[in-house]
Amino acid sequence: MLTDTRPLLEQHHKESYIWALRCCLGNKEDAKEALQESYLKVLEGRARFNGKSGFKTWLFAVIRITVADTRRKRIIEDIRHFEFRELLNRLTSRQRYDTGTEQNNVEVQLLKSLSELSPKQEQILRLVFYHEFTIEEAATIMGISVGSARTHYERGKKNLRIKIKL
């Protein structure tokens, strides 16, 4: 186990950046963010070198895993936001053709439907959609397990669709 990895990080920085850039498919901003997050993992002890491989090999694995985790989180966020936008779009177009109401009425109906859900379902949907927390962060805020939060989230989305009849 290394006590101070800073010199090794500095020594491999150029190659690490090139590797991060490659893992990020050439996106420089994503590569910089991934490299920064990887370095933080190493410096904060969230990723620990155990000496079973060379330091550079281990560091490149940390970078690759960090990029994959970031990509996975972004995909989940995109899906979550897409579902919510799709729900709003369906509700908006239905109201536009049915009653000619404006966006404000859509939001009022959505908020009314949200308030008719169970308290935990309403709370997690508000935290995720309106405050842009992840399900894991919302679970921490609510003081429940991540599994329970996921259940309330999925059931809340399902019940919300039923309430606004989509």
156 and 85 co-located in one domain: yes
> Rounded to whole angstroms, how far apart are CA atoms 10 and 60?
14
Q: Is residue 101 part of a domain?
A: yes
Q: Structure pTM?
A: 0.51
Higher pLDDT, 84 or 144: 144
Would you say residue 36 lies in a domain? yes
90 compared with 96, residue with greater pLDDT: 90
Pick from 15, 13, 58: nearest CA to 36 = 13
Residue 1 lies in a domain: no
* Residue 118, domain member (yes or no): yes
**Domain end among 49, 70, 91:** 70
Over 80: is that where the pLDDT of 79 sits?
no
State the chain's mean pLDDT as an integer.
81
In sequence order, which residues have a C-beta less than 8 Å from that of residue 138 and are 6 or more positions away? Answer: 123, 124, 127, 128, 149, 153
Domain boundary among 35, 70, 105: 70
Looking at the structure, tell me whether residues 95 and 151 fall in a common domain: yes
**Residue 153 belongs to a domain with what CATH number?**
1.10.10.10
**Domain carrying residue 129:** 73-163
Examine the domain organization and report whether 77 and 66 are in the same domain: no
Boundary residue ending a domain (48, 70, 92): 70
> Does the residue 111 lie in any domain?
yes
